[in-house]
A and B are shown apart, each in its own frame.
Chain A
């Protein structure tokens, strides 16, 4: 009843909070090794992430692509797959956006943006959908496939930007042609945060509704919960897996689109900055729940946002933010085994 749902929710909150505290403690030891007071470091972490309007805007900007890449892991995971190909799907989506966008200068901006968004999400969706098809029809492990496909995607982009679509006017950085200036999107009114945030939040909310309120979502929960029960119920498992992979890939592809049309304007190595991998972390922290992804992405976005400040202020190594993120990832994964271990969260049997 209410009690059990409440207990389950409380259990998730307590366990994730414990993981967060343990992570901060571990990170405290790490910075203490460099001779800094952990409390000062925590304060700067807070300052850089959430203290001022600028830091909040910075955090939200960082979190926008993470919401979308997290979906790439979360949605297939609901069907029982472990997809880690968000990085590749984002790159593929970004490249597709550029390839389409450079021809759309004559269109009104809303139409151009819409078409580019579709191009990015379809490309990302097909990319991860292919991994789903390989799994369902050829028995290829989807985790390995999507991991390797990340490298393939990056290689394809590198090939394109260093040859076929290279913009030779850009001398500082190997990059593709830029999409027309008219098709670039601006910031959300009142905030210095680009529209990727709005797209991310809306996409997560829509997917939350789909997974929670439709028969499709219910079927996916059966499949993810017990594939044998899904088989026995005659559910169209192959189709459901392909659709989930497509949706997840489309999320990451859309992240690629937003990176192009709101940030860079062209495809380059700048797309490959680990949003896809951070998305895996977020999906697990949010327990594959699209609504929870929004909040967790902002939290992790905060870590990234304050990373630079942390490094500058304390003269810590470049990888410090990555160390913190990695610690958090390990703690969260480890804490997943704690579910059901604590008696106080269990509903008492009659």
Chain B
């Protein structure tokens, strides 16, 4: 604690990255990237997923060792070998997902990261130190509240406070707003802006959201395919400049076109569904909804409000406690024959773990839906491996999956291509009902546009679609009807025409 730099006196660290290159096998994740993170600035690292943003900060934090290039902190060249070392240099990182202990209080969470903690903690003394620390911050939390009672925005604040308390004055925020409602995001980023304006900390924010860069950052560096695609002061750059740097000269596919569907019968229905989570608590309470043919119903909500359990219950990965699911008026028991008869397909989140077999090849994974049907079978029960491979090759081509071939293990593919593989498998056959969760997570803009187009195409073709997404923009773009899920309840419903972002945002944050 004693070596912690006094906050008011020293300027925050000034970090320079010079010609940094990092390779993973044959993949060049970072190619001679140089960025100067000036002391006391709010610096945005903008880029699509896979552009190299995370690799850059992981090299800075010592999780990876760069193959080439230098890091200097306050003018001194440093070999950052591990995160602890980075921490001693005053660098700290706030992760996209919370790393707090929910059952402990705010104070306990602040203390547990301290180095050289004595075996017996003098809580009275510690609380006084923490209280004084809180007073010096522009935002405060009650030290005695348990973390489990904090809202997402407050948890994010606590993560930031924790880093500041541990002495980090160069804060790296990894997609800090991904789990926040729009209002919470504005508040947090506003505070970060305030702290950098007061020259108390330097901030590096990883993001792919242009709005956040334009509203809050002083400087921006744009990465594309591992290369620096541009950098400068935000005030000197236009929106169009930023987009051009981010995606290059490639054209972005047009947003999906919505046509009026002719058939409008209810094809999918959930009645009073109750689903528990792994801890035996109720994750989905008494949920009911109906989806018509040619309709996309979007379920919005902040991550962790029961969406995953809902999708698991619909996909057969979790038994519901009560309630019923109907497809075309018939009770749906989640068997393979029903899935085939009703044309039910699934695009769950985290497809590699949820709907693929890592050790199997791309072609085999593409066959998971239809391996027991001709033409991949013969004599009824024998599998035709040649046909599995041909079927795989065909889908790889049609859906432009980047793979070395149909016979490599799926785990060797990038996340986007795993997503594409599952999409190919689920959309290739007869799609009548489609249940989709966060389909574009981690994909680049073109892939996002393509996947959304395919979902919209399926809808226009009369498919019944339930879209569960944490990305509100995606819901607003695709859904015909929007439902907000909060703490397991469907708390709000609106039509596409009447949808208002702020109203939806308020319901995502709490019951209103």
Contacts and interface: CB of A to CB of B under 8 A. Distances in A.
A5 B404 CA distance: 13
Interface in A19-38: none
B348 interface: yes
B320 to A, nearest CB: 13
Interface stretch (A103-111, A124-132, A154-162, A224-232): A224-232
A234 B337 CA distance: 8
B358 A225 contact: yes
Given A217-B383, A228-B354, A232-B346, A349 B317 contact: no
A341 B348 CA distance: 30
B336 interface: yes
A233 B369 contact: yes
Given A4-B407, A219-B372, A350-B404, A226 B383 contact: no
Given A1-B408, A214-B382, A221-B360, A234 B377 contact: no
A219 B316 contact: no
B412 A229 contact: no
Bin the interface of chain A by size: 20 to 34
Given A347-B404, A348-B25, A222 B368 contact: yes
B491 interface: no
B122 interface: no
15 contacts: A1-B407, A1-B408, A2-B407, A215-B371, A216-B381, A221-B360, A221-B364, A228-B353, A232-B315, A232-B317, A232-B346, A234-B316, A234-B337, A346-B25, A349-B26
A220 B315 CA distance: 19
A198 interface: no
B408 A4 contact: yes
A228 B355 contact: yes
Contacts of B364: 218, 221
A235 B382 contact: no
Interface in B327-361: 334-339, 346, 348, 353-360
Contact of A4 (B334, B360, B409): B409
The B contact surface, by secondary structure, is: loop
A350 B335 CA distance: 39
Nearest to B338: A234
Contacts of B348: 232
B387 to A, nearest CB: 12
B257 interface: no
B27 interface: yes
B113 interface: no
A231 B356 contact: no
A213 interface: yes
Closest A-B pairs by Cβ, 7 of them: A225-B357, A234-B336, A215-B372, A234-B339, A231-B317, A226-B357, A231-B316
B404 A215 contact: no
Interface in B383-401: 383
B342 to A, nearest CB: 11
B248 interface: no
B257 to A, nearest CB: 30
Interface residues of B, number: 40
A232 B316 contact: yes
Interface string A206-250: 000000011111110110011011011111100000000000000
Contact of A229 (B354, B381, B383, B405): B354
A347 B408 contact: yes
Interface of B: 24-27, 315-317, 334-339, 346, 348, 353-360, 364, 367-369, 371-372, 377, 381-383, 402, 404-405, 407-409, 412
B336 A229 contact: no
Contact of A236 (B336, B356, B367): B336
Contact of A222 (B354, B357, B377, B408): B357
A79 to B, nearest CB: 13
B346 A218 contact: no
B223 to A, nearest CB: 20
A214 B25 contact: no
Given A347-B412, A349-B25, A349-B27, A219 B317 contact: no
B353 A226 contact: yes
Contacts of A231: 315-317
B371 A218 contact: yes
Given A228-B354, A232-B317, A348-B25, 12 more contacts: A4-B408, A215-B381, A218-B383, A228-B353, A229-B355, A232-B315, A232-B355, A234-B334, A234-B335, A234-B338, A236-B335, A350-B27
A86 to B, nearest CB: 25
Contacts of B346: 232
A226 B25 contact: no
A225 B406 CA distance: 18
Given A1-B405, A229-B368, A215 B356 contact: no
B353 A349 contact: no
Given A226-B357, A232-B346, A349-B25, A214 B412 contact: no
Contacts of A215: 371-372, 377, 381-383
Contacts of A346: 25
Interface in A320-350: 346-350
Interface string A166-209: 00000000000000000000000000000000000000000000
B383 A232 contact: no
A314 B367 CA distance: 57
A101 B472 CA distance: 71
Residue among A4, A5, A232, A236 with most chain B CB within 10 A: A232
Contact of B404 (A1, A218, A222): A1
Contacts of A4: 407-409
A106 B405 CA distance: 61
Given A1-B405, A215-B377, A232 B354 contact: yes
Nearest to B356: A229
Contacts of A213: 382-383
Contacts of A229: 354-357, 368
Contacts of A232: 315-317, 346, 348, 354-355
Contacts of B25: 346, 348-349
Contacts of B353: 226, 228
B335 A221 contact: no
Given A1-B407, A213-B382, A225 B355 contact: no
Contacts of A348: 25-26
B308 to A, nearest CB: 12
A2 to B, nearest CB: 8
Nearest to B357: A225
Contacts of B315: 231-232
